[in-house]
Amino acid sequence: MVTMNPRHVLLAVAVAIVWGVNFVVIEVGLQDFPPLLFSALRFFFAAVPAVFILGKPRVAWRYVIAVGLVLGVAKFGLLFVGMDHGAPAGLSSLVLQSQVIFTLLFAVLVLRERPRKTQLLGIGIACAGMVLIVIDHGLAAPLGAVALVIAAAACWGVSNIVTRHAKPQDTLRFMVWVSAVAVVPLLLLSLLTEGAHDDLDALGNIDLTGIGAIGYLSFVATLFGFGAWGFLLRQYDASTVAPFSLLVPVVGMAAAWVLRGEAVGPQQAIAAALIIGGMACTVIRRRTPRKADSAELMPAFTRTD
């Protein structure tokens, strides 16, 4: 595995911290906005005016539209609605990272890739952790809300497969256009399900907390996060960069504990260790890997969120 420049290590850690804290910011923002409207605003300000500055995405439009709908609309829509219905920030940051497992499963089923033994082991370990999460009756979250976050992780896995076909050379440019695609569908869904009255009321009563939440998600988590991650993936193999994404749920759960008072019980701690350990197994390689595609592994927030 290639040794990273210390400054790039710090950059990767900074991105993981940004994406981990992102979940607490989402939870705070949901107090001011309906979830689908909040997601639409996040993508609107991430896309404008960046789409005019960066230019065209340089990949086929079918990939931009597909990822915009699956990742921007489905994944983030499900995540925001799930958190709005009671899935805590720390738990959501952990469960959402199961996208690594879904990505591997879809790659096997759709792309006919042959998983390594360590990857299969990782799936088994992570699934055991997910089961513990589901049967933990001490959770302060409805199972339906947790199920929505799991569904969001599955959508993220689908978008990763599509992104691997797209092979964007500029991750930031690609994500800006994906953000632009997601805005109108999310706004329409918000009007249909949340109602124009609630949307207008939220916009009319926006305060500094709401503005700060939108700004953080749009500019820090999306533009800085994806831009920095894309830069790292252009400098190093995906297998060198990807393990830093395992820090996201650790930061997310720690931030939720410190900033939101979200307790972590023994069973949840064991489940977290199993899920993170399982994800770690999926990126272990015995030999120096080939130069990976910059879009081969799309983590958090995300890559956020």
pTM of the model: 0.83
Residue 162 in any domain: the answer is yes
The whole-number average pLDDT for the span 140-153 is 86
| Ramachandran angles phi, psi of 114, nearest 5° | -100, 110
Do the domain assignments include residue 31? yes
In a domain, 223, yes or no: yes
Give a yes or no: residue 1 inside a domain: no
Identify whether the C-beta of residue 44 lies closer than 8 Å to the C-beta of residue 186: no
- Whether the ω angle into residue 243 lies within 30 degrees of 0, i.e. cis, is no
Look at residue 200 in the predicted model and tell me its pLDDT. 95
Q: How many domains does the chain have?
A: 1
pLDDT tens-place string over residues 179-212: 999 999 999 999 999 999 999 999 999 999 999 9
Reported confidence tier of residue 127, pLDDT bands at 50, 70, 90: confident
- Cα distance between residue 127 and residue 125, in whole Å: 5
Q: Which two tokens stand for residue 243?
A: 């393990």
- Structural domain range at position 29: 6-304
Decide if pLDDT at 287 tops 70: no
Q: Judge whether residue 297 has pLDDT over 50.
A: no
Exposed e or buried b per residue across 96-133, where buried means at least 16 C-beta atoms within 10 angstroms of its C-beta: bbbbbbbbbebbeeeeeeeeeeebebbbebbeebbebb
* Alpha-helical runs (H) found in 167-291: 171-193, 196-204, 208-215, 225-235, 238-241, 247-260, 266-282
* Residue 284 three-state SS: coil
- The answer to whether residue 295 is domain-embedded is yes
Q: Which span out of 31-40, 107-116, 124-133 was modeled with the highest average pLDDT?
A: 31-40
Whether the per-residue pLDDT at 298 is higher than 70: the answer is no
Q: Please report whether residue 99 resides in a domain.
A: yes
CA distance 303 to 153: 11
Torsion of CA 38, 279, 94, 3, to 10 degrees: -70
